[in-house]
Amino acid sequence: MCKYHYHVTVRKCPPLHLHEHAHVRCSLNNAWGSRCQLTCSQGYELVGHNITECGDKLKWTNPLPRCLAVKGCPLPMSPENGRLSCETPGSGEGSDVTSSGELLKEGSVCRYDCDPGYAVPQSQWHLMVIRCRAHSWNSTTDPSCQADDGNTPQLLLADTEYHHPLRHHQKRRPCWANPCQAGGTCLNGPHPRRSVLCICPRDREGEFCERARCQEEMCENGGRCIVLGDKAACYCPPGFTGPKCQVSQGTG
């Protein structure tokens, strides 16, 4: 009887040396033909390719990605008798938020809505839309959903659609034209005396956010205008004081 002995050599790529907070799942470990998918731990964002394969030359087809800490804002809490919808950069549309403990990406926009029968009072309309900038929300005060008085604002940044049993319509609301300037957010009415309400960035003011809070020549004697809260103020150079840096302190 003849006996045959076979020696099998498995062709392999070099082992993958993952960056910190990275994870990998491979179909054949690091053997030729293996396909690997890379992911990051929660709270980290993958930068680079998420797939690499062990190719014919026993080299990985893509360099390993890095996992960078997500820069963003903590997820706000949904209001009582309401909900929170957030839109993150690249998501295309808002999604309901039901829990906390996550981070939303820099540039995210969240909007508060109330359940049927409840509304945000007019004095809190400016709190209905918040933005994540420089790792913090532009407002830390949450609006409240109170018993509806029939004057509920609706947020709309583009066309709205409504359905009829026999027809499908697309209706343009006043915010469709985006009358708010400088990145202001438009709220459709009803509002007292006008059909839209503009929620302005901190450094803008006016009905349509058309004015910068810091006006030219607001500060004298080389003073610099800065925005504190929702008000403009003058930061005075040494030797001057006053609301507009108009008072010289003199030298003695």
CB-count burial class (<10 Å; 0-12, 13-18, 19+) for 5: exposed
- End-to-end CA gap in the chain: 116
| Backbone φ/ψ region at 120: left (φ over 0), alpha (ψ -120 to 50), beta | beta
C-alpha–C-alpha distance, residues 126 and 175, integer Å: 16
Query: How many other C-beta atoms lie within 10 A of the C-beta of residue 25?
Result: 9
Which amino acid appears at position 79 of this protein? P
Residues 199, 128: contact at Cβ < 8 Å? yes
Q: What is the pTM of this model?
A: 0.42
Asked if domains 153-212 and 214-252 share a fold, the reply is yes
Please tell me the predicted confidence (pLDDT) of residue 100: 41
214-252: which CATH architecture? Ribbon (2.10)
For 22-69, give the CATH class.
mainly beta
31-51: b (≥16 Cβ within 10 Å) or e: eeebebebebeeebbeeeeee
Please tell me the predicted confidence (pLDDT) of residue 106: 80
For 153-212, give the CATH class.
mainly beta
Please tell me the predicted confidence (pLDDT) of residue 58: 94
CB-count burial class (<10 Å; 0-12, 13-18, 19+) for 223: buried
For the chain, the domains span 22-69, 73-152, 153-212, 214-252
C-alpha–C-alpha distance, residues 111 and 127, integer Å: 9
pLDDT tens track for 149-188 = 665 555 443 333 333 333 333 344 556 667 788 878 777 6
pLDDT tens track for 101-118 = 467 888 888 888 888 888
Residues 179, 198: contact at Cβ < 8 Å? yes
Please tell me the predicted confidence (pLDDT) of residue 251: 56
Please tell me the predicted confidence (pLDDT) of residue 121: 82
Q: Is domain 73-152 annotated with CATH 2.10.70.10?
A: yes
Mark the ranges of the chain whose per-residue pLDDT is less than 50.
92-94, 97-101, 155-172, 191-192, 252
